[in-house]
Structure 1
Amino acid sequence: MIEVRGLTKRYGEVLAVDDLTFTVRPGEVTGFLGPNGAGKSTTLRLILGLESADSGTATVGGRPHAAQPAPLRAVGALLDPGAVLPSRTAYHHLLALAAGNGIPRSRVDEVLDDVGLGNAGRRRAGAFSLGMRQRLGIAAALLGDPPVLIFDEPLNGLDPEGIVWIRHLMRRMAAEGRAVLMSSHLMSELELTTDHLIVIGRGRLIADMTMKAFIAAHSDREVLVRSPRTGSLRRALPADATVREEGADTLVVTGLDTAEIGALAAVNDVELHELTSRRVSLEEAFMELTRDVQEYRAEREASR
């Protein structure tokens, strides 16, 4: 389990992380979201002891990372896939990590096979593609068989097969009882992979809930309606419903569900050809929630 309590970090006048509190629980894949500049990478570095907090705590299994006797056995992390000597083979990179954490040599071959690099273990890491370096970084995270895993943008550089592979890997790790924290800008993959969401903006927590609850709470459900009498239907809808046209015979209605629209159509003798509830995506819900905490857009608007 990862527990963050009142975590705060300032760089000069910039408040990168502001009194942040959340928990990443075992048995779940937790998505970590926020606009660029929200403080995600700083938070991950604070959890892993790569930065010192000004106040607050971040613990893994009840201990700060610096107090872990064998760090790779407590938490596995991928923050930078390029953090490997280019002249060193994948096998010897992992072997050096294993030796420093009391991990048996046999585990190196196991994780290389697990991430699909079994045949590339004796190749120099400098010759690896970005996708292969990502796999090597994931192998390093898995090396100590830790109960907690942290991944920052693990999908970068992966081909479609690799993306599907990592999706299944994350789900398998959580099913084994591990706590998995994953940051990514690929919303569609997070929607397929994660159970829980932590969303931050300008260093502060703005959402901490299940994926399903997040989408329901931060988006209005849309209903697509097709009818040869859209004008009559539109006049029958209440004034507080939001309606937009999508073609001559199609309306998109927000603020009413399918049952309510169907009942109004029946009372007003309006023929319906389609009545479909549209599921709002994670990306749409995220954009709506973070509209006012996107640093770069705020800067552009301030300069106008």
Structure 2
Amino acid sequence: MWHMIEANELTKRYGKTLAVDRLSFTVRPGRVTGFLGPNGSGKSTTLRLILGLHTPTAGAVTVDGIRFRDRPRGLRHVGALLDAGDVHGGRTAGAHLTALARGNRIPKSRVDEVLAEVGLTDAARRRIGGYSLGMKQRLGIATALLGDPPVLLFDEPLNGLDPEGVKWVRGLFRRLAREGRTVFVSSHLMSEMEHTADELVVIGRGELIAAESLKDFAGRATTRLSVAVRTPDPAALTTLLTAAGAAVRDEDGLLTVTGLAAERISELAMGRQLPIHELTTRTGSLEEAFMELTAGSVEYATEETR
């Protein structure tokens, strides 16, 4: 149970609105766990329940078997970034972190350490109100790291970061996981989760859809499996495969084929003596699996997503 986040039948209701519905999952140390779901799925509410900012209507969520609100000096146990803009704009970054360190009995030396780690040393004496969104995100990450906690939660940590910042955060999360920490990251950026997460917790309308490895989840995108084919005569091969019932899309000579397996494509091409230079089966991506498996949980659906 070391450093684990455990939700058991976690439920939260606001009046007639059921935001989280009997949600059970475990977030383990030593890996990055992505937290995914459509808008309005209950992700932010769940994170606030973990941190004791909201009280469950039913069920429970604990860190190391203890409710977070029952822990004194919480920043030494769990670090979190929920809203980078939720900070006093009139304070400097140094003053903000120093106050938090004092209240959590964290050595003042940690303030300079985390400011250096997130690249804000030179901006430590500037007022936070003048920070860009990316700088505020870095400060929020510094706040989460301040107590050197074993458990870390991040809600949309990449908002406002430039490509260099995104790459840095990706490396930071991987390093924290290698150190044996529990890293729980909520994000809508599927491409980043595909490069960062080891495990996924996916919810929709407050209910659990999946809790498994990223590889296993992405592999469930069965309806969009395709085969990439390259040939010196794409027009002839397109005609042949279309006649056999496949759908073919030509992208500058690279054919993307759905509806036929790679073996059948090869057999058809050989039968017509059409040379094949590339034949690769593409498995489902994280984004495809997410769109497919959460289609019934989208709060505001367009015609394309219905």
Are 1:13 and 2:16 counterparts?
Answer: yes
Determine if contact 2:240/2:268 at 8 Å carries over to the other structure.
Answer: no
What is the alpha-carbon distance in structure 1 between the residues aligned to residue 193 and residue 149 of structure 2? 22
What is the alpha-carbon distance in structure 2 between the residues aligned to residue 53 and residue 299 of structure 1? 35
What is the alpha-carbon distance in structure 2 between the residues aligned to residue 158 and residue 254 of structure 1? 36
In the TM superposition, 1:245-260 aligns within 5 A as: 245-246=249-250, 251-260=255-264
The percentage of aligned residue pairs carrying the same residue is 59
Are 1:152 and 2:149 counterparts?
Answer: no
TM-score, normalized by length of structure 1? 0.91
Residue 292 of structure 1: SS of its match in structure 2?
Answer: helix
What is the alpha-carbon distance in structure 1 between the residues aligned to residue 279 and residue 252 of structure 2? 16
Are 1:61 and 2:69 counterparts?
Answer: no
Determine if contact 1:232/1:270 at 8 Å carries over to the other structure.
Answer: no
Residue 80 of structure 2: SS of its match in structure 1?
Answer: strand
In the TM superposition, 1:202-217 aligns within 5 A as: 202-217=205-220
Q: Find runs of 4+ consecutive structure 1 residues off by over 6 angstroms.
A: 247-250, 298-302
Higher alpha-carbon deviation: 243-252 or 212-221: 243-252
What is the alpha-carbon distance in structure 2 between the residues aligned to residue 91 and residue 164 of structure 1? 25
Are 1:232 and 2:240 counterparts?
Answer: yes
What is the alpha-carbon distance in structure 1 between the residues aligned to residue 249 and residue 107 of structure 2? 64
Residue 246 of structure 1: SS of its match in structure 2?
Answer: strand
**Corresponding position of 1:178:** 181
Instruction: Give the aligned length.
Output: 298
**Corresponding position of 1:294:** 298
Aligned-partner residue type, residue 57 of structure 1? A
Unaligned runs of 5+ in 2: none
Higher alpha-carbon deviation: 255-264 or 187-196: 255-264
**Corresponding position of 1:277:** 281
Listed one character per residue, the Cα deviations across residues 239-275 of structure 1 (whole Å, up to 9, x for unaligned) are 6xx5234379765333544344324433554433442
What is the alpha-carbon distance in structure 1 between the residues aligned to residue 42 and residue 304 of structure 2? 19
What is the alpha-carbon distance in structure 2 between the residues aligned to residue 9 and residue 141 of structure 1? 25
**Corresponding position of 1:265:** 269
Listed one character per residue, the Cα deviations across residues 219-240 of structure 1 (whole Å, up to 9, x for unaligned) are 43210234533233444x4x6x
What is the alpha-carbon distance in structure 1 between the residues aligned to residue 152 and residue 303 of structure 2? 34
What is the alpha-carbon distance in structure 2 between the residues aligned to residue 75 and residue 7 of structure 1? 19
Unaligned runs of 5+ in 1: none
**Corresponding position of 1:101:** 104
Deviation at 1:281, TM superposition (A): 2.6
Determine if contact 2:10/2:59 at 8 Å carries over to the other structure.
Answer: yes
TM-score, normalized by length of structure 2? 0.90
Aligned-partner residue type, residue 290 of structure 1? T
What is the alpha-carbon distance in structure 2 between the residues aligned to residue 14 and residue 162 of structure 1? 37
**Corresponding position of 2:227:** 223
**Corresponding position of 1:138:** 141
Q: Quickly say closer, same or farther: Cα 1:233–1:141, change in 2 above 3 A.
A: same
Residue 295 of structure 1: SS of its match in structure 2?
Answer: coil
